Structure 1
Amino acid sequence: MNWKITGRFIVTIVSVAIIVILINIIGAAILIFNGGRNYFTNGITYYSPEDFTREFERYLREDKDKIYIGSDGEKILKEKKAWLQVLDEEGKEVYNFQKPVKGKKHYTPIELIHAYKYISNETMSTIFVSEKNICNRNYSYIIGFPSEKVKRNVLSYDVYNLGNSLRLGIYIILFLDALIALLFGYLFSRRLTKPLVNIIKDVKSLSEGEYSLEREEKGIYKEIYHNINNLSSKLESNEIERKNLDKMREEWISNISHDIKTPLVSVKGYAEILSSEEYDCTKEEVREYSKIIEDKSDYIKELIDDLNLSTRLKNKALILNKKNTNVVSLVRGAVIDILNNPQNGNVNIDFSTTREVIDIDIDEILIKRVITNILYNAIVHYDENVFIEVKVERKDRVHILIKDNGKGIQEEELKYIFERYYRGTNTGKRHKGSGLGMAIAKDIVEAHNGVINVESELLSGTKVEIIL
C-alpha cells in the first residue's frame, strides 16, 4: 500500500514536470518567433518593422515625375527615428528623408542584399526593403531603423540536421528533467505519503477493534488526526458501554430466568400436592394452594407481557389506541390503585393539580402503565416510609411530575436508567420484575411524541418529569 501511494504521487509529479517543460518550450518558441512583433504607429498597429516597411508605401506620392512623402509620413519616420531612401529601377536614389550622411546614393543588387543582411558601418542601421509601382514604374524604397533599437540575425541551417539535433536535445532535456522530477518527486511524495500510510494503519487498527489510539494533531493532516482521535475516543467509549450492556443483559437474563423459575417451582410443587393421591387436602388447603398457583401464574404472565410489550415498542409494531382523555383523572386513578394495595400501607403520596380537567389525546392504558411503573419504582427502591409527590399541570404542554425522597440513583447508573436490562443497585427487598419498566415507560412516552426526563441525587431522591 505504501509503494502504491508513493508511486502515484511520483507519477503525478513527473507528469506535471514534463507538461510544464513542454509548455515552457512551446512558449519560448512562440516568444522567440513573435517577440517584439507588435509595432504601433499613428493609431495603426504593425506586427513588425518589416510589416511597417511594407505598409509605408501609402505615404509615397508622385508629382510631376517626382517622388516624395507628405508631412504625415515624415512625422512617422521622425517618431521612429527612421530614415527613408527611394531607388529607381536601376538602384539610383531619387528621394531620401533623414538619410545618414554616409549613406550610399546607388546600390547594385549585391550591395542591396548585403545592406539588408548586415548592419552597414556607414549608416549603423537595420534596413528593410519594399517596393511600390507608381505610374507604371517600379520604385524600391529602403527604411532604416537605428541598430540599437531593431536587430536582425540571419540564420542559415540544414533543416534535416536541425530537426535531428532538436529532437535529440529535447529527448536529453526531457530525460534529465524526468530524472530530476523522479528524485524530487520521490523525496516529496515520501514525505507527503508517510502520514497517509500512518492514517491508513490507524483506520485499519480501528476496524480491528484497537481503539486506544492517540495521534499528535499537527501538519497538513491535522484535521484528519483530530477526527481519528475523536473517532477512537468515541469507539472506545461505545465499546466500554457495549460491554456494560452485554454484562447487564447477561445479568438480566439470569435474573429473569430466576424470576420465572422460582414461581414455576412453586406452581409445580403445589400442583403435585393437589394432584397427588397420597395427600388428602382439605378445602382450605386447596383454596390456599390454588391461590398461590394463581398468583405465581399471574406474575409469570406479567413478565411475559412485559417482554412482549417491550419488543413491540422497540420495533414500533404497537398501534396506539388514542382517545381524548382527562389526564388528571388518569393519574389520580393510578395513585389510588397504588394506595389501595395493602402492601403499600407505609407509602405517602401527595397528589396535586393546577386544574381538574386537562384533556389530551393519549392511549390511556399505556400512559397509566407509565405512571404505575414510575410510582412502583419509587416505592420498591425504598425500605422505610416513602413520600412521593405527584403533580399534573398544563404549560405549553402537559407536564406530569413524580418526585420521591428515596435513596436516589448513582450518577454512573443514571445513564442506564432507560436501558432494557437495567436493574438499580438500590433496589429494596420487595423489588421484583422484568427490569423493563423504565424502558417501557420511555418507549411509550416517545410513541406519544413526548419526552421523559430523570434527575436524581444519591440519598436525596429522584424526580421524573413526563411531558406530553
Structure 2
Amino acid sequence: MSIRRRLMTRFIGMLAGAVAVIIVLGGAVSFWVLDQLNEVILVEDFASVGIDQLISTAEILPNGTVRYDPELLKRVDENGGWLQVLDEKGNVIDAFHTPADVPDHYKPGELIAYWEAKKPFPYQLYLLIREKNGTYFTLLYGERSQAEGLLEQARENSRYANGKLVLQSEQKEAIRSANAYIQVLDEEGQNFASFNKPAMGSQSTYSTQDIILRTRYPNRYGMTTATSYDDQNQSTWMLSVPFASSSSAVVDENPYGFIFGPALVALLLSIITLLVLLALWYANRFGYPMMHMLQWLQRLEQGHYEEPTGARGKPRSQNGKGKWSRKYQVYAEVLRSIQTLSTTLKRDEELRKQTESLREEWIAGITHDLKTPLSSIQGYAHMLEAEKYNWSSEEVREFAGIMLEKSMYMDRLVNDLAMTYRLRSGGYQPPVGETDVNTLLHDLVQRAERNPAYGEDRIKFVPSEVPVYGQVHIPSFERIVDNLSANALLHNPADSTLTVSVHPGEQAGEFSVHFADDGQGMDSETVWKLFERYYRGTDTGTSDVGSGLGMAVTKGLIEAMKGRIEVQSTSGEGTVIRLIWDGKSEHG
C-alpha cells in the first residue's frame, strides 16, 4: 500500500473514530437528559406520568398482589398519594397507603362519578386501565391537595363585599398556618380581594396562561395553586400554598435550564477534550515522525549521516527488533529513501576522502618519477658542461646513454599517463580482430618467461582444452599480459609462481583469462586501489611495467576491448585476476 493510501486510511479511520466517540458522548448526554426530564416530570406531574410507569413496570404475583418499582412507590409516598388496583368487578385486589376514608369496593358507575367529580370525593383521582398477562385491571391513584382543601373550605363559609374578602376565623387560622394566601380575580385577571397576600413574590394581575402554568407546574413556582371559578360573579378564586422550602414564588422562565445547561456544557467540554486529545494524538502519530525526518535531513545537511537516536542510543524510528515502529510505518517509503540517501552520502563522503588520498599519492608519485630522472639528466648535463673536467669519449658516450635511458623512461611515463586519460575518457578505441587466444597467450607467456627480472620457472601456462577465438587487439593484449605478469612476479616473494589459464565461455566469442599467483595476496583496500592511476610509485631503477600506471592502463585497455576485469585476493593466500569477455562489460 502506498503512503498516500496509508495516510488516507489513517485519516479516515481517525475521523470515523472521532465521529463515533462524539455520537457515543451525545448518546450518553441524551440518555442523561431524558432520565433527568423523566425525574422532573415525575415530580411535577406524577399523576399523569407516574401511574403510566407504575402500571408498565408492575408485576402481578401468583397470590394476586402487585409488585411495583420501589423508586416509583417512593414518589407516591413523597407526594402523599395512595394506590389501589381494581379487578373487573370493582373490588380492590391490592393497595398502597390507602386512607381509611377511601372505599375498598366501587359499584358500577360509582368510580366514574368520583373520577368526573359528579359525586363528592375527598381526593383528586387519576385512573388508568391496562391489560397485563391477559387480565384487565384498573390502577387508581389519588392524592389530597392542601390547596384544594383550603380553597374548598374558604368557598363554603366566606364572602366578599365592598372589595374586601370576609373569612371565618377558623379559615383565616388554617390559611395562616399553611403560610398560604387567597386571591379573588375579576374577569380580566385583576386581583380585587385577597387575604394574607405577601408583599413580595405575588402578582396582582394574572393571565390565563399564568394561572394554567401555576396550576399545572407547581414546582416551577415553588407553590401549589388551586382555583375555583364563580360563574355567578364571573370571578376566579385562587389559593396558593408555598412549599416548605420556599418562602416566595419565583417564576423560572426556563424550567429545564438546570438539565439542558449542564448537559450542553458537559457535551461541549467533552467534544473540546476529545479534539484536544485528538490533536495530541495526531501530533504524536503523524507530526513526531515528520519532525524526526526533518531533523534527520538537517543532520544530513550538516554532514552527519547517522539517523537521530533516542535516549537508549537506538534510532527512534525502529523498535527493539530493528523494524519500523508503529507510528513510523506510514512513512516507510520516505524513511527508506532517507536511509538510502544517508548511506549514499556516507559512501560518497568516504569515496571522496579516498579519492583525495589517492590524488595526493598520485601527485606525489608522478612528481617523484618525473623529478628523479630529470635530476639525473640535469646532473650529467652539468658534468658535461663543466670546463674543469676533460671527459674521455667513452665517458661522454656513457653519460649520454644514461641520459637517453632516463629521457626514454620519462617519455614512456608521460605516454602511459596520457593513455590512462584517453582510456578513461573513451578516446582510445583499439582495432580488434579475431585471434586464437590459446596461441596468443602461449607466445606471450613464453616471452615473459625469458625476462631475467622474473627468475626461472615462475610462470605456467594452461591452455583451454578446446580452441578459443576472441576479438582482441594484439598489441594491447601484449601490454596487458606484460603488466599483469610484472605485477604478480615483481611484487611477490621470489619463490611465488604465476599460472595463466584460458577458459572458454558459453557462447562463441566469450572467454576468460585467469592470472593466479600463490603470493602474499592483498587486503581489501589495496584491491580497491589496485587500478587507480599511480597507486604505486616507481623510481629510476624500474620501468612502469607492473606499476600503478601499468595496472590502470591494463584496466583501460581491457574495457576498450569490451572486456572487464575482476580481482579476488586474500592476504597470505595469493591473488586471482580474471579477464572476462562475455558481453557484460561495464565501461568506467
Report the TM-score range of the alignment, normalised by the length of the smaller protein: 0.5 to 0.7
State the SS of the aligned residue for 1:279: coil
Q: CA 1:391–1:202 in 2, change beyond 3 Å: closer, same or farther?
A: same
Q: 1:446 aligns with which of 559, 565, 585?
A: 559
Which consecutive residues of structure 1, in runs of 5 or more, have no partner in the other structure? 1-8, 25-174
Matching residue of 2:283: 190
How big is the shift at 1:199?
A: 0.4
RMSD: 3.9
In structure 1, how many angstroms separate the alpha carbons of the residues matched to 2:391 and 2:482? 38
In structure 2, how many angstroms separate the alpha carbons of the residues matched to 1:275 and 1:292? 16
* 8 Å contact from structure 2 (residues 530, 548) kept in 1: no
* 8 Å contact from structure 1 (residues 418, 438) kept in 2: yes
Matching residue of 2:429: 319
Alignment of 1:219-298 (within 5 A): 219-222=326-329, 223=332, 224-298=334-408
In structure 2, how many angstroms separate the alpha carbons of the residues matched to 1:432 and 1:444? 16
Identity within the alignment, %: 32
Alignment of 1:248-397 (within 5 A): 248-346=358-456, 348-354=458-464, 358-396=468-506, 397=510
Q: CA 1:423–1:312 in 2, change beyond 3 Å: closer, same or farther?
A: same
Q: CA 1:184–1:460 in 2, change beyond 3 Å: closer, same or farther?
A: closer
* 8 Å contact from structure 1 (residues 267, 293) kept in 2: yes
**Paired AA for residue 362 in structure 1:** V
How big is the shift at 1:301?
A: 1.8
In structure 1, how many angstroms separate the alpha carbons of the residues matched to 2:542 and 2:383? 28
Give the TM-score, by structure 2 length. Answer: 0.45
How big is the shift at 1:446?
A: 2.6
Which of 1 and 2 has higher RCO (CA within 8 Å, sep 6+)?
1
* 8 Å contact from structure 1 (residues 407, 459) kept in 2: yes
State the SS of the aligned residue for 1:310: helix
* 8 Å contact from structure 2 (residues 531, 548) kept in 1: no
Matching residue of 2:172: none
* 8 Å contact from structure 1 (residues 260, 300) kept in 2: yes
**Paired AA for residue 353 in structure 1:** P
How big is the shift at 1:249?
A: 2.1
Alignment of 1:45-124 (within 5 A): none
Matching residue of 1:419: 532
Query: Size of the alignment, in residue pairs?
Result: 305
State the SS of the aligned residue for 1:420: coil
- 442-451 or 265-274, which deviates more: 442-451
* 8 Å contact from structure 1 (residues 347, 386) kept in 2: no
Q: 2:298 aligns with which of 192, 204, 209?
A: 204
1:285-310 deviation digits (Å, cap 9, x = unpaired): 22222221122112212221222111
* 8 Å contact from structure 2 (residues 289, 327) kept in 1: no
1:53-86 deviation digits (Å, cap 9, x = unpaired): xxxxxxxxxxxxxxxxxxxxxxxxxxxxxxxxxx
* 8 Å contact from structure 1 (residues 386, 406) kept in 2: yes
State the SS of the aligned residue for 2:548: coil
In structure 1, how many angstroms separate the alpha carbons of the residues matched to 2:557 and 2:526? 22
- 252-261 or 378-387, which deviates more: 378-387
How big is the shift at 1:466?
A: 1.1
How big is the shift at 1:228?
A: 3.5
* 8 Å contact from structure 2 (residues 568, 575) kept in 1: yes
1:240-260 deviation digits (Å, cap 9, x = unpaired): 343233212212211221111
In structure 1, how many angstroms separate the alpha carbons of the residues matched to 2:442 and 2:522? 26
Matching residue of 1:68: none
State the SS of the aligned residue for 1:278: coil
1:224-244 deviation digits (Å, cap 9, x = unpaired): 445544543443344234323
How big is the shift at 1:439?
A: 2.9
In structure 1, how many angstroms separate the alpha carbons of the residues matched to 2:371 and 2:297? 47
1:206-241 deviation digits (Å, cap 9, x = unpaired): 133111335232134242445544543443344234
* 8 Å contact from structure 2 (residues 521, 569) kept in 1: yes
Matching residue of 1:170: none
Greater Cα radius of gyration, structure 1 or 2: 2
In structure 1, how many angstroms separate the alpha carbons of the residues matched to 2:543 and 2:415? 18
State the SS of the aligned residue for 1:422: coil
In structure 2, how many angstroms separate the alpha carbons of the residues matched to 1:245 and 1:323? 36
State the SS of the aligned residue for 2:513: strand
* 8 Å contact from structure 1 (residues 349, 387) kept in 2: yes
In structure 1, how many angstroms separate the alpha carbons of the residues matched to 2:470 and 2:530? 27
